[in-house]
Structure 1
C-alpha cells in the first residue's frame, strides 16, 4: 500500500514539472506558508537556530526570516520536479551558472566544490552535472521508489560517481584522483564521531573536518559553489579557487570554512537550511538547545 501511494505521489510530482515556473513557485509559496503554520517542531528548530546565530535581531525579525525560509524551502522542493523531468534546454534557462571555468583545474589537480546548504543546492548539482562528471555522497532512502527517483535524478546528464556516507574517505579520494570533482556539502551535524568543535556564528558547532583532510591528502583546489534561488530560477556562482589553503592546522582550516559559510549566509539568510539541528551535538557539559 505504501509503495502504491508513493507511485501516486510521484505521478503528481511529474505533473507539476509541466507548470510554468511562476505558477510552480506560487504553489511552493502556499505550501511553505502552510508548513510554517502547522510544522511546530521544525518551526521551533529554525527559530532556535536563528536565535543562536542572530542574537542581535529582534524576535520579529527572526520570525520573518523563518517564514521566508519555509517558503524558499518548499519552492525548492517543488522545483526539484524540474531537475528530475524538465528538458535540458528548459533547465539551462532556469538555472544559470556563472564561473563554470573554475569547475576544472588547468593543472589537472582534483577539485572540491564546497557547497553550503542553501535551498538551491539541488539545482546547483543539476547544472554542474551538465558540465563535469562529478562525485557526491548519496543517502539511501528506505522507500525504494523514492530512492530510485532521487538516484536517477542525480544520474540524468552523466554517469556521476555516487558514494554512500558509509563508504568513507578512501573512495572519495579515489574518485577525486580519477578526475571527478567532489560536490561537497560540509555544514551539517553528524554527531560527535570524527567531528571537531569550531565556531559557527559564535556558537561551538560539531563540524566534520573532511575539507581540510581531503585537501591535504589529494592536493585539491577548493572551489566554493553558492546556489541562490531567484524569482525566475537559480543563479549558481562558482567562485575562484581558494588560495593559501590548507593552513596551519585542520582546526584552523575548519574554522575558516565556517567563517566563509557565515559570510554567504549573511547574503541571503532566508535561504540557508535552518530546519536542520545544526547545534544538536554539544561539547561535554553544555546544555542542549533543542528540547
Structure 2
C-alpha cells in the first residue's frame, strides 16, 4: 500500500489510515451486497445525472457497451445497480469478467454472489472469453476490472501512475472489433448513505494497437482514482510480473 501510494505521488503516512479504513469497509460490505435482496439494496444506491445520461444514451444506441471499473469504492454494487436500473425487464444483460479465486472454498461463494438477474459472470478462462465474444457480438454489456494483473499473453507493459504495469488487452481488442461504446463507471462509497454511481464516457476511438489503447485506458483509470484516492485498492500488487512474462526492462531489449 505504501509503495503504491508513493508511486502515485501520495504521502503514504497521510493517506494510509484512510485507505485502510476504506479497505475494511469494502471487505465488510461485499458479503452484505451479495446477500441483500436487490430492491432493498437499491434503497442505498443513487447515481449522478451524468451517469444516468451516459448509460441511458449508450443503451439506446443499440451498440455493445464496455464498462471499465477500477478497484475503487464499491465495484460490487455498480453492476447490480446497472442491472436493476437499466436491464431489468429487457433482453439485455451484463457479462462480468472475473478471476476465479484460487481457494476452492471461495469459488462458489464468489460465483453465486455475482450471479443475479441481468448479470452473467464470465470466468477468466477460455469459456469466459467465449462468453465475452458472444456478448459483444450480441450487442450486450460487458464489465471488467482492468486494473488487475492478467496472465501471460493476455497483457502489455504500459505505465500506470508512471510505472510499467502488465495491463490486460482482451476487453480492448473485443471492444475495437465490435465497435463498443466505452464507459468508465464506479461506485463511490458515501458514509452513512450508501453509494453513488458515477460515470465518464471514453470518447477517444480505439486504434487497434494494444499498447496505445492500454495507455489510454490506464489514463482514464488514473483520472478516476485521483477523484477518490482514499477508496482505491492500493494494497493490491499492481506491478507484479506474472509467471512466464518478461519484466518490462527485458521486454524493451527484445
Q: TM-score range by the shorter chain?
A: 0.7 to 0.9
The residue correspondences of 1:109-120 to structure 2 (distance < 5 A) are 109-120=63-74
- Structure 2 counterpart of 1:106: 60
SS in 2 for 1:79: helix
TM-score by length of 2: 0.82
**Residue 83 of structure 1, CA deviation:** 1.4
The residue correspondences of 1:1-291 to structure 2 (distance < 5 A) are 46-54=1-9, 57=10, 61-98=11-48, 99-101=51-53, 102=55, 104-130=58-84, 131-132=86-87, 133-141=93-101, 146-156=106-116, 158-167=117-126, 169-231=129-191, 232-239=193-200, 241-247=201-207, 249-281=209-241, 282-285=247-250
Equivalent-residue separation in structure 2 for 1:63 and 1:191 (angstroms): 32
Q: Tell me how many residue pairs correspond in the alignment.
A: 234
1:188-245 CA distance string (max 9 Å, x none) = 2225433211111111111112343112211111011122111121111133x33231
Q: Which has the larger radius of gyration?
A: 1
- Structure 1 counterpart of 2:90: none
- Contact 1:134 1:160 (8 Å CA) reproduced: yes
- Contact 1:211 1:254 (8 Å CA) reproduced: no
| Closer/same/farther in 2, CA of residues 246 and 73 from structure 1, 3 Å limit | same
Structure with more of its chain in strand, by fraction: 2
Q: Which runs of 5+ in 1 are unaligned?
A: 1-45, 287-291
**Residue 248 of structure 1, CA deviation:** 6.8
- Contact 1:197 1:206 (8 Å CA) reproduced: yes
**Residue 187 of structure 1, CA deviation:** 0.9
TM-score by length of 1: 0.72
1:241-287 CA distance string (max 9 Å, x none) = 3323113732221111111111111111111111111111231359x
SS in 1 for 2:47: strand
Q: Comparing both chains, which one has the higher relative contact order based on Cα–Cα distances under 8 Å and sequence gaps of 6 or more?
A: 2
- Contact 1:225 1:236 (8 Å CA) reproduced: yes
- Coordinate RMSD, CA, aligned: 2.3
